[in-house]
Structure 1
Amino acid sequence: MHTIPDEDPATRHSPGASFSVPPNVKILDSVQLAELERTFRVWATDSPRRDVRESRRRILLIFLLIRHTGAKLNEILDLKAGDIDLGKRVVTVGGEERERARVVEIPDDLAEELRAALTAGGHGPEDALFRIDPAHVRRKFYEQAEACGLPREFGNPSTLRRSRSVELLRGNLPLPVVQRLLGHSTPNLTAAHLDVSEEDVHHAARRYIDRESRRRTSARNIFFGKITEILTGDIQSEVTLLTLGGLHVVSVITNASLRRMRLKVGMFVTAEIKAPWVLVAGSEGADQNSADNRLPAMVIDVSTGRINAEILLRLADGTEICSITTAASSRRLKLRSGDQAWVLFGAYCVVLNRE
């Protein structure tokens, strides 16, 4: 069971946006949604029976579609194969009321999962993708929320839909765009009246989806996550963040930087580590080390020159970490592609950037 820290109520108001979320409204933030997705994925593959795994896989796809499109459960259950355009990476939702249908962008990785499902199922354009009882879907959503350490009501499809709308707004996507994407007839959050064309909607949504995908796939030596703890000292503060991949990264910054950036628990930041600051140890070499951040990894590639060597590693969540070391150190480690290793870096080496 995962333990997910509660969101700091102070962060439910976005300083850079014109909206706030009432304290009694149930929402999940990006890290909590990522934790819930991991729980779903483990459950979807955790059965020796192929038919059970296929059934769970369909439930997982329904979750992913609601999580990334913000559509209603009945809209996803009404989807036909022809409603999915994998070339444009969009899904048309709206059920039988085609005049109210809307086109919603989806991330590349979800498009590939849908491609695999469509190929395996041999669906025609008019074939329904999910012939599943809505009550059964809701029960499974509640079960996975509890398995993730959340109250069961946080698995409600409406909660996921609401969470997606807040996530998009916090990502600085204009409210009229979010309204259009989620099919809201009227805004439930105060905003100015703006006229946004369909082209503007899809351009803004695609830019956000692509930026969000880069966070999940994680550029080299960069983490995206939520601050879970701040320990303030006389001169410096220790900041701990929980990444989308479920990793904990510790940084030490000055109190002046903490105040200037207005960092608080629950706020989202990126953490960057320069390659020369990343140390690498063999599979048995990390215990006797004072590094604040010690993360298990697998070696992808080792490129050794006359003076320097570049070691590329992949963490458990898929984040790629690059380390620059001396050629002599690389030879001494004797690491090869596929070897298990440890990535080590001190808290003072982690640079935080506020989202």
Structure 2
Amino acid sequence: MSVATSGGAPRARLRTSARNQLYGMVTAIVHGPINAEVGLLVNDRIVIDALVTNTSVEALGLHPGGTAVALIKSSFITLLDDVPGLRLSARNLIGGTIVAIIEGPVESEVVVDIGEETELAAVVTTQSLKDMGLAIGRTTLAAFKASHVILATEA
């Protein structure tokens, strides 16, 4: 997987067990009593929504125009067919093209290109891989909950 970019500038990756690291610019923060919803622009057309505590927003120094990285475990991403009228409770629904598959006996890793040299990796059961007909070159939707996104900032 290539180095993630933000605004065209290459960035070093954090060392973490989270397979997906998406660098971006904070677009908005909406505070609730305990949590805040944070929008993170990760390329020209995709904003990732993250749900974090207000304490975390303050501790990370998050603010509109600032930068952060979204960390998403590959097991938190669900792949779906693009069905007209599809409604989900997951806030993040991103379309892309499958560019790589590592098939295992029980689970398989599927890498989805979501544009501008940005990829998402998802782990699905191998049975689901076969049942859905997932293959390199096929389009799919990647879905994940805002509460499954961890935000980090550089010190």
Shift of 1:288: 2.5
Unaligned 5+ segments in structure 2 are: 1-5, 13-18
Q: Is the 8 A contact 1:286 1:294 kept in 2?
A: no
Query: 1:246 Cα shift?
Result: 3.5
What is the alpha-carbon distance in structure 2 between the residues aligned to residue 309 and residue 235 of structure 1?
37
Q: Is the 8 A contact 1:286 1:342 kept in 2?
A: no
Q: Deviations over 1:180-211 (max 9, x none)?
A: xxxxxxxxxxxxxxxxxxxxxxxxxxxxxxxx
TM-superposed deviation, 1:316: 2.0
* Aligned positions, number: 143
- 1:326 pairs with 2:131: no
Contact preservation (8 Å) 1:296, 1:316 = no
Corresponding position of 1:354 = 153
Structure 1 unpaired stretches of 5+: 1-29, 35-211
Q: How does 1:202-221 map to 2 (within 5 A)?
A: 212-214=9-11, 221=20
**Deviation by residue 1:273-332 (Cα, 9 ceiling, x = unmatched):** 111011111233782222111111001122322211111111122211110121222222
Question: What amino acid sits opposite 1:293 in the alignment?
Answer: N
Q: Is residue 316 of structure 1 aligned with residue 124 of structure 2?
A: no
> 2 CA distance for matches of 1:344 and 1:317?
19
Identify which of 282, 286, 293 aligns with 2:92: 293
User: What is the alpha-carbon distance in structure 2 between the residues aligned to residue 305 and residue 230 of structure 1?
Assistant: 40
Contact 1:292 1:345 in 2 (8 A): yes
Q: Conserved in 2, the CA contact under 8 Å of 1:294 and 1:343?
A: yes
- Report Cα offsets for 1:57-101 as digits up to 9, x if no partner: xxxxxxxxxxxxxxxxxxxxxxxxxxxxxxxxxxxxxxxxxxxxx
Whichever of the two has the greater Rg, that structure is: 1
How far the C-alpha of 1:243 sits from its partner, in A, is: 1.9
* Partner SS for 1:260: helix
Moved segments of 4+, more than 6 Å = none
Specify which structure has the bigger relative contact order, considering alpha-carbon pairs within 8 angstroms and separated by 6 or more residues: 2
Structure holding more strand per residue:
2
Equivalent residue number for residue 72 of structure 2: 273
- Deviation of the 1:334 alpha carbon: 1.1
Provide TM-score, normalisation by structure 1: 0.38
Q: CA deviation at 1:214?
A: 3.9
Sequence identity, in percent?
26
Partner of residue 63, structure 2: 264
State how 1:79-94 maps to structure 2 within 5 Å.
Answer: none
Deviates more, 1:294-303 or 1:229-238: 294-303
* Contact 1:224-1:270 at 8 Å conserved across structures: yes
**Residue aligning to 1:250:** 49
1:225 aligns with 2:4: no
In 2: Cα distance, 1:310 partner to 1:248 partner = 23
Give the whole-Å Cα distance in 1 for the aligned partners of 2:112 and 2:85: 15
What is the one-letter code of the residue matched to 1:330? L
Greater helix percent: which structure? 1
What is the distance in 2 between the residues matched to 1:233 and 1:288? 24
Q: TM (normalized to structure 2)?
A: 0.82
CA distance in 2, matches of 1:252, 1:348: 5
* Cα drift, residue 266 of structure 1: 1.3
SS at match of 1:290: coil
Supply the distance in 2 between the matched residues of 1:285 and 1:339 (Cα, whole angstroms).
Answer: 17
- Cα distance, 1:309–1:352 mapped onto 2, change above 3 Å: same
Paired residues for 1:53-202 under 5 Å: none
Is it true that 1:283 corresponds to 2:82 in the alignment? yes
Asked if the contact 1:237–1:255 (Cα under 8 Å) also holds between the matched residues in 2, the reply is yes
Answering whether residue 83 of structure 2 is matched by residue 304 of structure 1, we say no
Assess if the C-alpha contact under 8 Å between 1:221 and 1:319 holds in 2. Answer: no
String of CA shifts for 1:110-169, please: whole Å, max 9, x gaps. xxxxxxxxxxxxxxxxxxxxxxxxxxxxxxxxxxxxxxxxxxxxxxxxxxxxxxxxxxxx
Change (3 A) 1:250 1:283: same
| Cα distance in 1 between the residues matched to 2:20 and 2:121 | 6
